[in-house]
Amino acid sequence: MTHRLADRLSAARRRRFVGRAAELALWKAALQTDHPSFQLLYLFGPGGVGKTTLLTEYARLCAEAEVTALLIDARQVEPAPEPFLQAIGRALSLPEGASVLEALAAGRHALLLDTCERLAPLDAWLRETFLPELPELVLVAMAGQHPLPAAWRADPGWQALTRVVSLRNLAPEESRTFLTDQGLPDDQLPAVLGFTHGHPLALSLVADTFRQRSGQSFQPEASHDVVRALLERFIQKVPSPAHRAALEACSLVRALTEGLLTTMLGTADSHDLFAWLRELSFIESGPDGLVPHELARDVLGRDLRWRHPDWYAELHRRARQDYIARLHTSSGVVQQRVLLDLIYLHRDNAVVRPMFEWDVDGQWRVEAFVPADREAILAMVARQEGETAAGWAGFWLNRQPAGACVIRDAAGASVGFMQTLALEAAAATDRDADPATRLAWRFLETHAPLRGSETATYFRTWLARDTHQAVSAVQSLLFVLAVRHYLVTANLAFHFFPCVDPEAWGPVFAYADLDRLPELDFAIDGCRHGVYGHDWRIRPAPAWLTLLAERELSPTVPAARDAAQVAPLVVLGAEDFGQAVRAALRDYTAPDLLRGNPLLRSRVVLERSRKAPDEAARIPALLDLLRRGAEPMANSPRDAKLYKALEATFFKPAATQEQAAERLDLPFSTYRRHLKAGQARLIDWLWKLELGAG
């Protein structure tokens, strides 16, 4: 028996088909009854998601059920009534002039219409004229990139007879099965699944790439041919460069609003561009704005970063500036979402991406701890870290309940917990009782004592109910809460962050400028915690955000550091600080003598010398600070006399103070009073700078 080539093609396609069990079952059930629950099945989804392949499977099921399938590709049909009817006639092998409706009435038929977005000019005719005239036994399946038009949804009749299916990506297991069947080795599957997100066309393209490049590992950034093919599916025709720029902006941010689009493109009004984006099949309208299909986002972003890296970086910068500005004008849930937006910009960084679950908003709610939460929280801690750890959680809940927050799921159950302690507010006996806080407080006293109204935070307990501290949506939301604490806590000087797997978190904590503090590690019931920390006096929040912005697009991985590797900060009290300023003034014209001055290890100098490891390299920054602190006095008629005393004594010094007084034509006692007042003014300015942020 001779087999047709078409049979072999069909068999090959069948072997590559996976998934879509629900969609197949729906169609199969309709074929098996004379009274199906729908007359029209409308499938929609982005390009390459598998609509055509599914319609082909529907045709196969029709053949099994002895139903004649008429598969019409709208790309081959002029969108007008007569050519459309002629296309159906050809599928039915009718002679010219024969009635399509009469032929469809002679037996069971299924009309499968692909690429229906091309039939938009025929929409009203199909809805009001052609389809209503079809025999009742004719099943219709339509597939296109766009959702069912509003006119269909508003019609009560079509509402009752239509089933709408949004065709999504394949599930992870379905994707894995497809790739394995195509011969991809197991060690390559994670990278491929991460890139494709289960998108059928992407899976197929990657499988083809593997066959062509046997033995090579999959590298998304190098697979430009795959990216190009996907782009052609997602963006068949972009009206203008402005529309392409809008698409690129949308691909880089978590959710795009019209206002953010205006900011990112630098236009006066982006209303029309936003409306165009909203109609694209691979972009959904979410509660926070427009959200692209994950594969579309990745493909657009990779293409832009490779094709125009400067514009890619500029879009990041504009979005980042918008978020940072809104951080300072928002609070509560709104501020939490802005932080998610800001963190999302780091999504493509190789260090950050695997350590964060990016889809965390909308699933959970964060609430302050209430006594009714106590039992569930302590049970959560006991299960993950042991009874002793649960005891310490209860201990601190009794003493600082306001520092605890709970993450709840949609049903209100507690699924995560974070306990922040204000170390300076804790009683000394309480701090000493807990091994974690005892070590942290001793560290502060020895290396970074608090001054004035400065505060220190210890994130004593943080965990997810089911996954402890492993990467998860709950863990990621806890990290968002920690970042919010960094940015909104007044006078925060230091924070400590313990974790049960410090080595695993080392790279991402180094990225976030947290230093490893191994002398603070502790163990409870055999559960070891490694501790990280950050001194906000060395790198305050604005400088920290700038650092993260620099690392956001960097391909290099910052090395993890122990605190011993960091430029040695010295935290001076007010009296010692003043003495150090006076000593620096005395040595102003002999900079070599400044070596050893404790100001060279103060926050104010370290920050302005980019934490240069060598003291000599920090001396110019100290001299500049002394001069700049004195200049306002020189420009003030009231305080010019104070500046003159400083200048004659330190900046352009006379041989002795007596000669300085003579140069200024002042009695020695008056000169000394001016000098003392000028020093006090300069010390006060520098001290405020040391305690402040910049």
Residue 128 backbone dihedrals phi, psi, to 5 degrees: -100, -20
pLDDT confidence of 147, banded at 50, 70, 90? confident
DSSP per residue, 89-152? HHHTTPPTT--HHHHHHSS-EEEEEESGGGGGGGHHHIIIIIGGGS-TT-EEEEEESSPPPHHH
Q: Classify domain 5-166 at the CATH superfamily level.
A: P-loop containing nucleotide triphosphate hydrolases (3.40.50.300)
| More reliable by pLDDT, 652 or 232 | 652
Q: Check residues 85 and 34 and name the one with the higher pLDDT.
A: 85
pLDDT of residue 314: 95
The C-alpha atoms of residue 213 and residue 188 are separated, in whole angstroms, by 13
Is residue 284 classed as helix, strand or coil in its secondary structure? strand
% of residues, the chain, pLDDT over 70: 89
Average pLDDT over residues 250-258: 94
Distance CA 81, CA 565 (A): 76
Angle, helix 473-488 to helix 332-344, in steps of 10 degrees? 110
- For residue 613, pLDDT beyond 80: no
Task: Label residue 295 left, alpha or beta by phi (over 0 means left) and psi (-120 to 50 means alpha).
Answer: alpha
CA atoms 641, 646, 652, 655: torsion sign: positive
Contact 442, 402 (CB under 8 A): no
Arithmetic mean of pLDDT, 455-468? 96
Cα 584 vs. chain centroid, distance in angstroms? 46
DSSP code for 75: G
pLDDT tens string 301-345: 888 988 899 999 999 999 999 999 998 888 888 888 899 999 999
What length does the chain have?
Answer: 694
Task: State residue 563's pLDDT score.
Answer: 46
- Looking at residue 656, its amino acid is T
Query: pLDDT tens across 50-70, in order?
Result: 888 899 989 999 999 999 999
DSSP SS3 for 69: strand
**What is the band of 430 on the pLDDT scale with cuts at 50, 70, 90?**
very high
Is the Cβ–Cβ distance between 547 and 539 less than 8 Å?
yes
Say which CATH class 233-345 falls into: mainly alpha
pLDDT tens readout for residues 622-654: 999 999 999 999 988 899 999 999 999 999 999
Backbone φ and ψ of 455, nearest 5°? -125, 160
* Mean pLDDT of all residues in 211-222: 60
Q: Which helix (H) or strand (E) holds 399?
A: helix 387-399
Which residues have C-beta within 8 Å of that of residue 372, sequence separation ≥ 6? none
* Higher pLDDT among residues 281 and 36, named by residue: 36
Write down the pLDDT at residue 692: 65
Q: Is the predicted pLDDT of residue 564 greater than 50, yes or no?
A: no
Calculate mean pLDDT across residues 390-414: 94
- Sorted by sequence, the CB contacts under 8 Å of residue 464 that are 6+ apart come out as 407, 415, 416, 470, 472, 474, 475, 478
Looking at the predicted structure, is the pLDDT value of residue 215 above 70? Answer: no
Distance CA 634, CA 646 (A): 10
Question: How would DSSP label each residue in 418-449?
Answer: EEEEEGGGS-HHHHHHSHHHHHHHHHHHHHS-
Report phi then psi at 168, rounded to 5.
-110, 180
Tokens at 413, concatenated? 């159950």
- Residue 5, pLDDT > 90, answer no
Span of 37-41, 119-123, 551-555 with lowest mean pLDDT: 551-555
Task: Kindly report the average pLDDT of the chain as a whole number.
Answer: 86
Distance CA 384, CA 430 (A): 24
Q: Where are the domains of the chain?
A: 5-166, 172-218, 233-345, 365-565, 574-691
pLDDT of residue 210: 66
Sign of CA pseudo-dihedral 419, 425, 429, 435? positive
- Per-residue confidence band for 279, with pLDDT thresholds at 50, 70 and 90: confident
Residues 6+ apart with CB under 8 A from 539: 513, 547, 607
DSSP H helix total and E strand total for the chain: 31, 15
Token pair listed for 138: 């004719």
DSSP assignment of 498-534: EES-HHHHHHHHHHTTPEE-GGG-EEETTEEEEEEEE
Mean pLDDT of 120-131: 90
pLDDT for the residue 117: 85
Residue 675, pLDDT score: 94
pLDDT over threshold 90, residue 421: yes
Question: Which of 52-66, 80-94, 218-232, 452-466 reaches the highest mean pLDDT?
Answer: 452-466
Q: Which CATH superfamily includes the segment(s) 365-565?
A: Gcn5-related N-acetyltransferase (GNAT) (3.40.630.30)
Using only C-alpha atoms, the chain has a radius of gyration, in whole angstroms, of: 34
> Distance (Å, rounded) from C-alpha 218 to C-alpha 185?
11
What's the token pair of residue 293?
């299909």
pLDDT tops 60 at residue 386: yes
User: CA-to-CA distance for 270 and 274, rounded, in angstroms?
Assistant: 6
According to DSSP, the β-strands at 109-114 and 68-73 are parallel
| Nearest Cα residue to 605 out of 634, 629, 589 | 629
694 pLDDT band (50/70/90 cuts)?
very low
Q: Average pLDDT of 255-266?
A: 95
Q: Is the pLDDT of residue 693 over 50?
A: no
Q: Which whole number is the average pLDDT over 273-299? A: 82
Mean pLDDT of 376-385: 95
Alpha-carbon distance values, 53 to 16, 22, 198 (Å): 10, 15, 15
- Provide the pLDDT confidence category of residue 183 given band limits of 50, 70 and 90: confident
The band of 557, judged by pLDDT with boundaries at 50, 70 and 90, is low
Structure tokens at 227: 């990216």
Long-range pairs for 131-135: beta carbons < 8 A, 24 or more residues apart: 131/40, 133/101, 134/101, 134/104, 135/101, 135/104, 135/105, 135/109
Of 287-301, 486-500, 645-659, which range is least confident? 287-301
Query: Which of 245, 237, 255, 253 minimizes the C-alpha distance to 311?
Result: 245
Token pair for 221 = 């950034």
